[in-house]
Chain A
Amino acid sequence: MDIEALAGGFATTLGIYLAIGVLFAVPFAWKGAAAIDPAAREGTWGFRVLLLPGATLLWPALMLRWFGGRTTPRVESNAHRRAAGGER
């Protein structure tokens, strides 16, 4: 197998993925984070800057969350919550 061609394809894919990520990260830190988590609405500037790397790497998942319309993080389920039932 031609390793150089394979590595070239990987490098290009990586580059495109990260480029989209950077383009996505800025509006996400500015507006998107608050749209999916109310605790981010008044997040500080430092917090928003810290979101950039994560948003760059995870943009596909965040895009689904943001455009999916859910405005709060999910409450984590655990054995007690499941056993109790009646959770909303």
Chain B
Amino acid sequence: MSLNYRAVGWNRQKRLYDTALVTGIVLYLAVFIAIGLTTHPEASAEVLMIRGFGSGAFVLLHVILAIGPACRLAPRLLPLLYNRRHMGVAMFSMALVHGALSMLMYHTQGDLNPIVSLFASNTHYDDLMRFPFQTLGFFALVILAFMAATSHDFWLANLSAPTWKALHMLVYVAYAALVMHVALGALQAESSPLLSGFVVVGFAGLAALHLFAGLRETGRRDRSLAAPRDGFVDVIALDELPIDGHGHVACLSGERVAIFRDGDEVFALSNACQHQNGPLGEGRLIGDCVTCPWHGYEYERTTGVSPAPFTESVPTFAVELRDGRVWIDAKPRPARDAHHGGEA
């Protein structure tokens, strides 16, 4: 199966999210600058813009970092997760405006190269109170640039998922650098106590959320399936499987397995779609094929092979019904030669 790449895979829901996102950003900037103009009439428009875009990006970064653990705690929020990359690009764009305006304001006046000026105009690298905090913002911006530039699906496929994930985990390094950028900047520029308050509360909130979601996850993993008997594992009662084509997901042999029922037959496939690791268990069994919820790739339910002319495949599992319970072979079958199907 193959889909040609487009710039943005918009659908109605994504359009809605993006409209809300852009509206939120514009409102934030308008309110920030309006309040700034009234409370700090002496502040220049440039400074207000720098602060507005910088703080807006920082707030949005908190939202982005909260979405992951929040979705693990409340799966209802999952649609936010699917829209997170657009939020990331919006956040980077705001940070870029903030960084570029700061460079223009503070580092293009002399005859030094602006980058040299950024790193060398304040050399108190050994003094926390006078530390050149702008350099921390620069490093964070570089990381965010790599992430935003590689957010398209093309990069996920071609950098390979592990590399892509590692690159995007650097967001936590960027976040750490930004906490210091903002905290040290606030210390040095006697800016509003609101900002320092937000840094502390934001950091504590994110840490708590990640910790809580992590603990819940570990708790769940411990409730593992019973030990295998002649290679098969008791996974679920047949009656508990949905009969309307929806799937059930269980964890077996180190990965998730998507389990589907059609009458008295049960089929088990490795959960990760070959296309982009879409969750097959959240897809549907339609006719002889399981359809991925993300982009609609199909896998034949017994062999795990995409119908010709396509060549994708996922591993499958032998299934046996014993006394009304579904037993699944712990050893996956190679996708391409699994031709005797789920004899249920």
Contacts and interface: CB of A to CB of B under 8 A. Distances in A.
Interface of A: 3-4, 6-8, 10-11, 14, 33, 36-47, 49-51, 53-54, 56-58, 61, 65, 73-76, 78-81, 83-88
B333 A84 contact: yes
Summarize A's interface: helix, strand, loop or mixed: helix
Given A43-B4, A50-B152, A51-B154, A76 B160 contact: yes
Contacts, number: 126
Contacts of B162: 76
B113 interface: yes
A44 B4 CA distance: 8
Nearest to B160: A74
Contacts of B155: 54
Given A76-B161, A78-B270, A83-B253, A3 B123 contact: yes
A57 B145 contact: yes
Nearest to A57: B149
Contacts of B5: 39-40, 43-44, 47
B334 A86 contact: yes
Contacts of B11: none
A45 B4 CA distance: 12
Interface in B291-344: 314-315, 331-337
A79 B4 contact: no
A7 B120 contact: yes
Contacts of B158: 36-37, 65, 73
B146 interface: yes
